[in-house]
Structure 1
Amino acid sequence: MSAETSPLDDKNEVTLVGKVSATPQVRELPSGDSIVSVRVIVKRKGARPRPNSPTIDTIDCGAWTGRAKKTLERFQPGDVVEVTGALRRRFQRIDGGAISRYEVEVSGAKRLLKAA
């Protein structure tokens, strides 16, 4: 291990494999940049901790770079995909104040299985 790395170094890496829930959305930002967003449904594995607990997670994913945006735009609802990136906390202003949410900032993505 080099002097520059340590097993205690911070790491923010996410890999999701799941189904696309809906058609990807393209949003234009006030800066003129655009973002492509998609939601990925991921099944929870393992025993349910209590009755009626959720069996899936729906995770927001957003792409800011050209290649990742083009890939996400081609996804269709029901496609099984792999998305890699980093978890980011985003803040937004709404009428009642500010809210925060988490999303995966996509650095790479690929379709594993096309929807039927």
Structure 2
Amino acid sequence: MSLAVVDRDDVVLRGRLSAPAELRVLPSGDPLVVFRLVVERDDPRPQVPATDTITCISFLPALRRYAVAWAAADLIEVEGALQRRFWRTVSGTGTTYEVDCRRGRKVARAGTGSPARTA
């Protein structure tokens, strides 16, 4: 069996938006949107955080437009791939993991359990 069939990098997250999404422009001139989802852990243990905050990004124009309209605490669902990003710092190389999103949608508005309207 080839590795192309075995390897898979698919991520699906559903969580609350921690703060409004932020539009950024990379030094290359490429625009992207950055936002963070707070996702509850299935089985939290004592003295271990009950949630994880996961950074999500997207270069897709449509997803950038949707994300900037989302409000903090909205319930959001995204699909994408986990990626590791590197950059140079004065003390060496910086690194982080983030989800590069190819799809995203608001599931419910902040403060309500009600579904969001879809276009």
TM-score band, normalised by shorter chain: 0.7 to 0.9
Match of 2:32 in 1: 35
Match of 1:60 in 2: 55
Q: Among residues 15, 18, 26, which one is paired with 1:18 in the alignment?
A: 15
Per the normalisation by structure 1, the TM-score is 0.88
Match of 1:72 in 2: 67
Match of 1:104 in 2: 99
For 1:66, give the aligned amino acid: P
Identity within the alignment, %: 34
Distance (whole Å) between structure 2 residues aligned to residue 47 and residue 106 of structure 1: 26
Match of 2:89 in 1: 94
For 1:55, give the aligned amino acid: A
Distance (whole Å) between structure 1 residues aligned to residue 71 and residue 26 of structure 2: 23
3-state DSSP of counterpart to 1:72: helix
Per the normalisation by structure 2, the TM-score is 0.85
Gaps of 5+ in 2: 112-119
Query: Conserved in 1, the CA contact under 8 Å of 2:44 and 2:50?
Result: no
Deviation at 1:75, TM superposition (A): 1.3
Gaps of 5+ in 1: none
Q: Figure out how many residues of one structure are paired with residues of the other and give that number.
A: 111
Deviation at 1:62, TM superposition (A): 0.1
Match of 2:114 in 1: none
CA RMSD of aligned residues (A): 1.9
Match of 1:44 in 2: 41
Query: Conserved in 2, the CA contact under 8 Å of 1:18 and 1:82?
Result: yes
